[in-house]
Amino acid sequence: MGSGVISTTKELIQERLTNRKPYKAPPKPFIGNLDQAPPYMVDNEYIWRGYRVGFNSKTKILRSLFMVHNESINVWSHLIGAICFVVLIAYTFTYMAPPALDANMHAAEGPRSIFNIQGWFSDGLLARDRDSAALGSLLSVDKPNIKDALQNPISDHQSQLANHNDASLFEKVELYVQHAASVISDPQLYIKCVDSFKKFKDVVKELPSHLEEEIKGAYASVHDIALHEHKMEYLKRVVKYLGHSVDTWADELKHITDSPGFDFLEMKPIFKEPPENLIHYVTRFPLFVHMVCAIICLGSSSFYHLFKDHSEMYHKTLVRMDYAGISIMIAGSNTPPIYYSFFCQEMHDWRSIYLGLEYFFCATAFVIFLVPRFDQPRYRALRGIVFVICGLLSAIPIFHIKFLTDEKYLKDFMTFPWAFGGALYIFGATLYMLKVPERFLPGFFDICGHSHQFFHLLIVTAALVHYRASVMVFHDRQLYTCPVKVLDEFDASNSLLQGQ
């Protein structure tokens, strides 16, 4: 369509809006056209039909939820999107939350859970009639059951991403190793005399080999061994470090335990580094931040588009909530990639900077959109530009992750899903700003196919793409552990000794 035709069409629309009769509330609500709608309802002059006229009560507005009008798709697209994210929260909590699964396993297995290592030690070391061999057997009494217990989370994750469906298994094994290290980290709990010291030493010296067997058994069920090789090697390093620490500790004490002046209360801990620092728990909090922000955005948008035609006061108030909700969505969707990619201790300053900038600009946009003057139709382009700027801020940390970050902090980062989701946001905002395609065929896309509807559908699609990308970067964070100084120093000293 030529520019002359478009210009003529705009003149006709403007004339139609100027010459229409003053609005008067009808006795009964109806779905009317542009001439019959009050001025506050007309945000897009290219939408000619489908206005809800006279729906001035909450009951009438709620009934319009099941009617066909020019806001139907806007309401339902984001309402269904919000429901999807409520379901995803339940799914993520149930199938990607090992603490909940651990509780279920613990209750089901009773006192012989793999997480009751402390009970094994305490029962064995304080029993008068058991020798060190019997105490050592406590560590392996449930060995055949451990692998079976670890099968449950694997089954639960079959529906997850094909290359990450063993993620919870890692945390099961990690928790097992970490808990074992925590149990033996304070010998004073178990050692009261020379005899108990000897028994404790015999038991803990068997622990590394026992843990190695359990790791091998658990990973026998892993589907893609190459993908999980880094995690396997890391756990082996941890177990090797535990064994070395136990041997060193026992050697340092073996010559002084017989001394009359030795006080067992002054016994040194086995590990110089707290066991919880050896394995980093990967929190799911950023995933929930993203999903909650998506629900706030989509829910407030759906609420606005449903109730906007109730009255001018409702329209002016709720439209600000709609715009502000988009800034919340942008902040939430950018939280997982920044948080997980800058997860390691050495990268925390960068994480704080990038998250701070993202939250600052989104909060600024949130405040701006609450100002009454900016909800006017003439600021439509400005609103779209602000959305685009807030979204593009994430390109800076992603560039940092991809090209300026050492592989030891994150082996790989999948930029495509984040870039694709961002492109969907920007494309939708561009259609919204330009009022395409309805500006080329006014009145043709009134009920279905106008720019605001495309913007809504693209927002939901982008949010779901980013959810999938968030799960992937979360699992990648589980797969590729952060550097641990004490382990690196231990490996370096071993290499030096082997080279001599």
Q: Which residues contribute to the annotated binding site?
A: 305, 452, 456
Q: In this structure, what are the phi and psi dihedrals at residue 394, rounded to the nearest 5 degrees?
A: -70, -15
Of 179, 115, 174, 123, nearest to 142 by C-alpha is: 115
Q: Is 52 helix (H, G, I), strand (E, B) or coil?
A: strand
DSSP string, 366-385: HHHHHSGGGGSGGGHHHHHH
Chain-centre distance for alpha carbon 288: 5
Alpha-carbon gap, residue 153 to 292, rounded angstroms: 25
The residue type at 262:
F
Residue stretches of the annotated binding site for Zn(2+): 305, 452, 456
Residue 131 has φ and ψ, to the nearest 5°, of: -95, 180
Whole-Å CA distances, 131 to 186, 203, 251, 443 = 21, 10, 21, 89
- Helix, strand or coil, per DSSP, at residue 33: strand
> How many CB atoms within 10 Å of residue 71?
25
* Residue 486 tokens, joined: 């004490």
Q: How, if at all, do strands 30-33 and 49-53 pair?
A: antiparallel
Closest CA to 214 of 280, 152, 124, 148: 148
